[in-house]
Amino acid sequence: MEGVKNIISEVRSHFPALETSMNGRRLVYLDNAATTQKSREVLEFISGAMVNKNANVHRSMYALSDLATEAYEAAREKVRSFINAPERENIIFTSGTTASINLVASSFCQAFLKEGDAVLIEADSHHSNIVPWQLAAQRVGAFIKVLPIDGSGNLCTNLAESLLTPEVKIVALTQVSNVLGVENTIAEIIKIAHKKGIPVLVDGAQGVVHSEVDVQKMDCDFYAFSAHKIYGATGVGILYGKRDWLEKMPPYMGGGDMVETVTYQKTTYAPLPLKFEAGTPNFTGAASLLPALETAEYLRRGEVGDALKKEERAIVSFMMEKLSQIPDIEIYGTPENLEKKHPIFSFNVKGVNAGDMAQILDKMGVAVRSGLMCAEPLINSFGATSALRASFAPYNTLEEADYFVQCLQRALQMLK
Ligand code: PMP
């Protein structure tokens, strides 16, 4: 027990933000599904790179630019190995999960979606895995189909077979919903879709933080995630794509770096991955994925990984038990098997405004999200117009979960 405590306090010392105060209280940061705090290694890398590696990438014949390019490409290699992609050409840097999904929705659909076709999405999708598909569908007169979830927040995998009709040209799944925290059964759906020759994109924005991802094992065709949710910089995203699809898809944006030759009338494009990386990328931010993913590995490997996993499972049991004891509470995402539940807890208490709860918690130093959480159709399906969400990262503790519950109970006493 003491050993686990020591490991956790050592882990937390890597994240300077966790030692700060808010509203005169020690910060208890429970909005990790929105963005994670950065490790010292990432912060030091970024400030160092701004001085020692700050030159534009892939462009120049001088040493400083080479250093910047090497750091950018080293991060690409780190991402490749982190998600076990076969080649560097599979890894495209974007500005975030949203940009990665927009890239596929726009480029894939331009080539392969026509009038009368459909895109299958999930009922628990984030807006960024809904709206890009609507935009793409509207351009050609295609439509959106929705794979439902059940009352506990489990995906209705049994309906996939019947929903995957011949007009469906691509499936957009969510590995873990940012509201429900439930690990979705995407492997099964990918299998069914592939049997019918339909490619699958997976939104891994939350999934990559909480589970080991192997894109070859998962066999998804595209996988999207954001650096800022996994201890890295904001404004950086990753799109993994199978080479065959990426080769067949037209460029998404035009500009510098994505070209081979340009005339006033015609352009030939750079090979992968640069074909999809027009313009100056956030090269320092992207390069910081190297220390960010090393941080992620440090948090999940060896005795540190074991200790944090144990703490995470204790947090999930504790939170589900304590929250369910609150009168008039409705918790979203309550799988029977708690092994499927990641530490993301969204709920409403009848008669209490989620925003009011969040504001009172903030006064106690607790940072949580309230609102629609970019999942309006899902929140509305619960008959709600907002919810409160506490989302934990591996550096959060059971003690913080306990403090959160105590503060919530005090807030409810004030508001009820
Ligand atoms: N999908 C999911 C499941 C998310 O949680 C988020 C971020 N809340 C996104 C997509 C969008 O990520 P970003 O804003 O970094 O593009």
DSSP assignment of 61-82 equals SSHHHHHHHHHHHHHHHHHHHH
* Number of separate domains in the chain: 2
Structure tokens at 47: 């400030």
Rounded distance from Cα 262 to ligand 1 centre (Å): 35
On whether the CB atoms of residues 231 and 208 are closer than 8 A, the answer is: no
Pocket, ligand 1, Cβ cutoff 6 A:
33-34, 96-98, 126, 128-129, 174, 178, 203, 205-206, 226, 374
**Are residue 251 and residue 379 in the same domain, yes or no?**
no
Q: What is the pLDDT of residues 339-351, one digit of tens each?
A: 999 999 999 999 9
Instruction: With beta carbons less than 8 A apart as the criterion, state whether 148 and 123 touch.
Output: yes
Beta carbons of 90 and 223 less than 8 angstroms apart: no
Asked if residue 382 is part of any domain, the answer here is yes
Backbone phi and psi for residue 124, each to the nearest 5 degrees, phi listed first: -100, 25
**Closest C-alpha to ligand 1, atom 8:** 34
Residues 148, 100: Cα–Cα separation, whole Å: 24
12/83 same-domain check: no
Establish if 37 belongs to a structural domain: no
Of 109, 220, 374, 407, catalytic: 374
Q: Are residues 9 and 72 in the same domain?
A: no
Atom number, ligand 1, closest to the C-alpha of residue 95: 16
Reading the block at residue 31, the tokens are: 């909005």
Give a yes or no: residue 36 inside a domain. Answer: no
Q: Whole-angstrom Cα distance, residue 218 to residue 200?
A: 10
Both 112 and 234 in one domain: the answer is yes
Domain boundary residue, one of 294, 327, 352: 294
375, 270: one domain: no
User: What is the rounded distance in angstroms from the CA atom of residue 305 to the CA atom of residue 8?
Assistant: 10
Specify the pTM: 0.98
Instruction: Count Cβ atoms within 10 A of the Cβ of residue 299 and give its class: 0-12 exposed, 13-18 middle, 19 or more buried.
Output: buried
Mark the ranges of the chain whose per-residue pLDDT is less than 70.
1
Backbone phi and psi for residue 82, each to the nearest 5 degrees, phi listed first: -60, -40
Q: What is the pLDDT of residue 416?
A: 85
Backbone dihedral angles phi then psi of residue 91, each to the nearest 5 degrees = -105, 115
Are 229 and 322 within one domain? no
pLDDT for 4 equals 87
Cα of 97 to ligand 1 centre, how many Å? 6
Answer yes or no: is 38 within a domain. Answer: no
319 CA distance to ligand 1 centroid (A)? 23
Residue 160: closest CA among 152, 385, 149, 29: 149
Burial readout 313-322 (b: 16 or more C-beta within 10 A, e: otherwise):
eebbebbbeb
Element (H, E) at 200: strand 200-203
User: Nearest Cα to 119, choosing from 73, 60, 173, 83?
Assistant: 173
Q: Ligand 1, atom 14: nearest CA belongs to which residue? A: 98
- SS3 call for 296: helix
Same domain for 141 and 286, yes or no, is yes
User: Torsion-angle region of residue 153: left (phi > 0), alpha (psi -120 to 50) or beta?
Assistant: left
- Let me know if 374 is a catalytic residue: yes
Is 316 a member of any domain? yes
Of 261, 294, 327, which residue is a domain's last? 294
Residue type, 128: S
Q: What is the DSSP letter of 54?
A: -
Residue entry with tokens 């201890």: 231
The pLDDT assigned to 74 comes to 98
CATH code where residue 316 lies: 3.90.1150.10
Q: Where in the sequence is the domain holding 335, given as residue range(s)?
A: 2-30+303-415
| CA–CA gap between residue 315 and residue 393 (Å, rounded) | 11
What is the distance between the alpha carbons of residues 258 and 255, in angstroms, rounded to a whole number? 6
Q: What is the Cα–Cα distance from 292 to 269, expressed in whole angstroms?
A: 31
Regarding whether 378 and 312 lie in a shared domain, the answer is yes
Distance (angstroms) between ligand 1 centre and the Cα of 238 equals 12
Q: Which residue has the tokens 């300077």?
A: 16
What is the pLDDT, as a whole number, of residue 26? 95
Element (H, E) at 19: none
* Minimal-distance CA residue to ligand 1 atom 12: 97
In this structure, are 373 and 233 located in the same domain? Answer: no
pLDDT of residue 53: 97
Question: Last residue of some domain: 244, 276, 294?
Answer: 294
Here the tokens at position 111 are 């080539």
pLDDT at 1: 67
- Would you call 45 helix, strand, or coil by DSSP? helix
